[in-house]
A and B are shown apart, each in its own frame.
Chain A
Amino acid sequence: MDDLRQHLQVAGDEEVKISARNCQVFYGDTHAIKDVDVDILDKTVTAFIGPSGCGKSTFLRCLNRMNDTIDVARVEGEILMDGENIYDKKVDPVQLRAKVGMVFQKPNPFPKSIYDNVSYGPKIHGLARNKAELDEIVERSLRRAALWDEVKDRLQTPGTGLSGGQQQRLCIARAVATEPEVLLMDEPASALDPIATAQIEELIDELKQNYSVVIVTHSMQQAARVSQKTAFFHLGNLVEYDDTGTIFTNPQDPRTESYITGRIG
Chain B
Amino acid sequence: MTLAPFVILLLAAAVGYAINIQAARAIRSNGVRLHSLEGFHGLFSLLLVIVPVLTLVLLWLALEGGVINRLLMASLPDGVLDGLDSGAVQLIGAEIRSIAGGRIFGTPEDWKLEAADRLIAYRQTSAWLLVIVVVLVSAALVFFARGKVAAEFRARQGVERITLGLMVFCAVVAIFTTIGIVAALTFETIKFFQLVPVTEFLFGTNWEPQIPIREDQIAAEGAFGAVPVFLGTIVIATVALVVAVPVGLLSAIYLNEFAPHAFRKVVKPILEVLAGVPTVVYGFFAILVVAPAIRQFGQSIGLDVASNTALAAGGVMGIMLIPFISSFADDALSAVPQSLRDGALALGATRGEMMMNVVFPAAIPGIVGGVLLAVSRAIGETMIVVMAAGLIARMTINPLDSVTAVTVQIVTLLIGDTAFDNPKTLAAFALGMMLFLATLVINVFALRIVRKYREIYD
Contacts and interface: CB of A to CB of B under 8 A. Distances in A.
Answer yes or no: do A and B interact.
yes
B242 interface: no
Contacts of B347: 97-98, 101, 120-121, 124, 174-175, 178
B264 to A, nearest CB: 11
A124 B345 contact: no
Nearest to A105: B339
Interface stretch (A45-53, A108-116, A194-202): A108-116
A64 interface: yes
A111 B359 CA distance: 9
Interface string A81-104: 000000000000011111101101
Given A69-B345, A101-B347, A108 B340 contact: yes
A152 interface: no
A69 B346 CA distance: 10
B229 to A, nearest CB: 42
A124 B340 contact: no
B349 A124 contact: yes
Contact of A108 (B261, B339, B456): B339
Given A66-B342, A110-B340, A110-B343, A124 B358 contact: no
A104 B337 CA distance: 13
Contacts of B342: 66, 69, 102, 104, 108
A124 B353 contact: yes
A160 B347 CA distance: 18
B343 A121 contact: no
B361 A111 contact: yes
B269 interface: no
B353 A110 contact: no
Contacts of A16: none
Contacts of A121: 347-348
A178 B348 contact: yes
B354 to A, nearest CB: 9
B343 A104 contact: yes
A124 B261 contact: no
Contacts of B385: none
Nearest to B356: A124
Given A104-B339, A110-B362, A112-B361, A94 B349 contact: yes
Interface string A102-142: 10101011111000000011001100000000000000000
Interface string B443-458: 0000000000000100
A97 B343 contact: no
Nearest to A125: B348
Nearest to A102: B346
A102 B345 CA distance: 10
A171 interface: yes
Contacts of A174: 343, 347
Contacts of B344: 110, 120
Interface string A216-244: 00000000000000000000000000000
A98 B349 CA distance: 8
B346 A64 contact: yes
A258 to B, nearest CB: 33
Contact of A111 (B348, B349, B350, B456): B456
Contacts of B339: 104, 106, 108
Interface in A145-166: 160
A109 B337 CA distance: 11
A29 interface: no
Q: Which of B337, B347, B362 gathers the greatest number of chain A CB atoms within 10 Å?
A: B347
Nearest to A123: B357
Interface string A63-80: 010100101000000000
A97 B261 contact: no
B357 A120 contact: yes
Interface string B222-261: 0000000000000000000000000000000000000001
A242 B339 CA distance: 32
Nearest to B343: A108
Nearest to B346: A102
A97 B348 CA distance: 5
Contacts of A94: 348-350
Contact of B357 (A104, A124, A175): A124
B358 A97 contact: no
Contacts of A178: 347-348
A176 to B, nearest CB: 11
B430 to A, nearest CB: 44
Contacts of B353: 124
A104 B358 CA distance: 17
Contact of B362 (A106, A111, A125): A111
Contacts of A102: 342, 346
Contacts of A98: 347-348
Contacts of A160: 456
Contacts of B349: 94, 120, 124
A110 B340 CA distance: 6
A170 B61 CA distance: 71
Contacts of B361: 111-112
A77 to B, nearest CB: 22
Contacts of B357: 120, 124
Contact of B345 (A97, A106, A112): A97
Nearest to A64: B346
Nearest to B348: A98
A66 B348 contact: no
A222 B350 CA distance: 34
A71 B261 contact: yes
A64 B342 CA distance: 12
A71 B345 CA distance: 15
Interface of B: 261, 337, 339-350, 353, 357-358, 361-362, 456
Ranked nearest first, the 5 interchain pairs of A and B with the lowest CB-CB distance are A98-B348, A102-B346, A108-B339, A97-B348, A121-B347
24 contacts: A69-B341, A71-B261, A94-B349, A95-B348, A96-B348, A97-B346, A99-B348, A101-B346, A101-B347, A104-B339, A104-B346, A108-B340, A109-B343, A110-B343, A110-B344, A110-B362, A121-B347, A121-B348, A124-B347, A124-B357, A171-B343, A175-B347, A178-B347, A178-B348
